[in-house]
Copies of this chain bind each other. A is one copy, B any other.
């Protein structure tokens, strides 16, 4: 399968470099009859778009999406959906001086050795700009999930650098510039001071993002290699800068006892959701809970030692350009998109295989 395709049935294939002509994607096997508009897609793109707040990069990319095909009179037709965003706000000259050098923490070196050639402008294909098409495709997946299957995904940032919260409040997150799960004035003030300091120090910080899916039908997902948690982990770890993924209580479960970790059941439902809504790779019907760690932005103004493609040391390489101090902040719609794509694909595979199972006849634990 193409390295730029995600999904087995509801597939998304993307292309595009940071400073090329356009980003594009093709969504295949989309269910027909689903209402979708440019506005639906643009709404999520605008959440990812740089330039919206002073806590992100000052680049202002319009990211205006066009629907090339697959939608007729406002509805999906079942034929492949082409989406395109033309690149407009490129300042390629920022990158001329890194043509031959490898920025630390970036993929410059690995791309060059892999391919023997690279489009160095703005990171080329390795730029997080690529994720715009994931968000666009995810918006289509969200529409299908909502209209046909009653599934909704949400997300928020739960940690920025050393500041974290136990809250999960996607509505609050929509209303603060950090997409943070705790939107209290005290917290926002604290975050603002923290980010300002990091920026002044020409540094950056990591983040934790949590996403959830509500309404996923029990039975979604398949055991073994197509486990829903495995494909979710794949989806999340494929996002730039993600270095860890957890389902449910995740790493904390390593230190738990079995008596603590198992979710007890009764005719009234599950007593807890340590498992994050997945057992044996299959959804339980509870909320699916996923957390992921973003590493700090690698593009920082603080100089760092590097080397160029001729083997010459560069003791103080500086990455110019306009960059986010914390890439995790704008990542919420990306993570939501990947969760939506993963779950929709699993629902469609489940329908393919088990569409003749009469689940209405089977006992369901309330959720």
List B contacts of A237 (CB < 8 A). Answer: 227, 229-230, 232-234, 245, 247
List B contacts of A309 (CB < 8 A). Answer: 362-363
Residues B225 and A15 in contact, CB atoms below 8 Å apart: no
The smallest C-beta distance from A212 to any residue of chain B, in angstroms, reads 16
Residues A105 and B275 in contact, CB atoms below 8 Å apart: yes
Total number of A residues with any Cβ neighbor in B under 8 Å: 165
C-alpha gap A1/B204 in the complex (Å): 39
Q: Which of B31, B70, B233 contacts A245 (CB 8 A)?
A: B233
C-alpha gap A349/B204 in the complex (Å): 34
List B contacts of A271 (CB < 8 A). Answer: 305
Residues A78 and B28 in contact, CB atoms below 8 Å apart: no
Indicate whether A84 reaches chain B with its CB closer than 8 angstroms.
yes
Residue of B nearest to A120 (CB): B72
Residues A29 and B349 in contact, CB atoms below 8 Å apart: yes
List B contacts of A113 (CB < 8 A). Answer: 218-219, 359, 362, 364
Residues B198 and A162 in contact, CB atoms below 8 Å apart: no
The smallest C-beta distance from A90 to any residue of chain B, in angstroms, reads 13
List B contacts of A155 (CB < 8 A). Answer: none
Q: Which of B16, B68, B206, B351 contacts A254 (CB 8 A)?
A: B206
Residues B225 and A5 in contact, CB atoms below 8 Å apart: yes
> In A204-248, which residues have CB < 8 Å from any B CB?
204-208, 218-219, 221-227, 229-238, 240, 242-248
- A–B Cβ pairs within 8 angstroms, 7 of them: A17-B70, A22-B68, A29-B222, A79-B125, A105-B258, A110-B219, A161-B256
Q: Which 7 A-B pairs have the closest CB atoms?
A: A107-B280, A2-B28, A105-B262, A204-B258, A3-B226, A234-B234, A3-B222
The smallest C-beta distance from A110 to any residue of chain B, in angstroms, reads 4
Residue of B nearest to A328 (CB): B254
C-alpha gap A3/B81 in the complex (Å): 12
Residues B357 and A116 in contact, CB atoms below 8 Å apart: yes
Residues B31 and A68 in contact, CB atoms below 8 Å apart: no
Q: Which of B84, B296, B306 contacts A256 (CB 8 A)?
A: B296
Indicate whether A55 reaches chain B with its CB closer than 8 angstroms.
no
Residues B33 and A117 in contact, CB atoms below 8 Å apart: yes
List B contacts of A172 (CB < 8 A). Answer: none
Residues A296 and B32 in contact, CB atoms below 8 Å apart: no
